[in-house]
Copies of this chain bind each other. A is one copy, B any other.
Amino acid sequence: MRDTAVMRDPDTDSRADTGPSDDTPGDCPRPDGRLLRGEATRERVLDAAERLFSAEGVDAVSIRQIAAAAGVTLGVVGFHGGSKTELIRTVLSRRVEALNIARRDRLARVMAGPAPKLDDLVEAYILPYLEYASHDDPQWGAYARLIARIVADDRWYKNVGELYDPMAREYLDAMQQVCPEADRDALVTALTLTVASMLSLVASRARIAGLTGHAGGNAMDHRDTLVSFCVNGMTAIASRKGGPQDGP
């Protein structure tokens, strides 16, 4: 059994607090082409990190593995990615904007319609993720699986939650608008369950394959099942009147 060194606590990364991104080279590529050379390397590093983090888990991947997968030397990963915590943030930040834009566009289109329905909101939240997860560029698939890992792990999520929570809040507001009677906390819980279902479809291939007995295709094959499951679950929660139904 091989062993490797792995960061234990993402909170105690002193380098992560030295500034927004000014210390990370290659962030603001100038038109003179001076940084273009490094920019390509940087992408290779981030791609490799994305692939490995999603496949093995953040804690199980070493900087050296990333360097090898990217075809660069060890120091280059640090040069372009900073510390390991910074690297994870950078990998996630790189694509979050595209996903958020797709979701925001879809949300706006639904809310601009004549009679926005909860079903449409659930679809608008789920489908962009599912589409990106099945994107032609396999890096998007890796990114989608990486999100699933991060969200399921409080320890990492609190480091990157602010990348995704604002979008979730926009959807919650819209849902509340469509279902004014619904209890806000129940909506939060229901959206969390929706997200968990959505992510599990992309991340937990092994379990589904093991139970069906056959491998199954990509996540898109279960698209309708997922949407139907979440829409009906969410509708059930939202149609209950406000106030605490649960617990003591």
Which of A88-96, A99-107, A108-116, A185-193 contacts the other chain? A185-193
How far is B217's CA from A248's CA once the two chains are assembled, in angstroms? 9
How far is B14's CA from A208's CA once the two chains are assembled, in angstroms? 28
How far is B204's CA from A236's CA once the two chains are assembled, in angstroms? 22
Which residues A193-236 have CB closer than 8 A to chain B?
Answer: 193, 195-197, 199-201, 203-208, 210-212, 216-217, 220-226, 228-236
Do A9 and B5 have beta carbons less than 8 Å apart?
no
Which of A21-29, A41-49, A148-156 contacts the other chain? A148-156
Do B59 and A57 have beta carbons less than 8 Å apart?
yes
Which of A32-40, A67-75, A136-144, A161-169 contacts the other chain? A161-169
- In the complex, A12 has a CB within 8 A of chain B: yes
- In the complex, A127 has a CB within 8 A of chain B: no
How far is B38's CA from A182's CA once the two chains are assembled, in angstroms? 55
- The number of times this chain is found in the oligomer is 2
- In the complex, A2 has a CB within 8 A of chain B: yes
Chain B hits for A12, CB < 8 A:
1-2
Do B236 and A229 have beta carbons less than 8 Å apart?
yes
Do A154 and B206 have beta carbons less than 8 Å apart?
yes
27 contacts between A and B (CB under 8 A): A1-B9, A1-B12, A1-B15, A1-B84, A4-B6, A7-B60, A55-B155, A57-B59, A57-B153, A152-B200, A152-B203, A154-B206, A185-B216, A188-B211, A191-B211, A193-B197, A193-B200, A196-B200, A196-B204, A197-B233, A220-B247, A221-B247, A223-B247, A229-B236, A230-B233, A231-B236, A232-B233
Nearest 9 CB-CB pairings of A with B: A196-B200, A229-B233, A233-B233, A59-B59, A232-B236, A221-B247, A154-B206, A3-B5, A193-B197
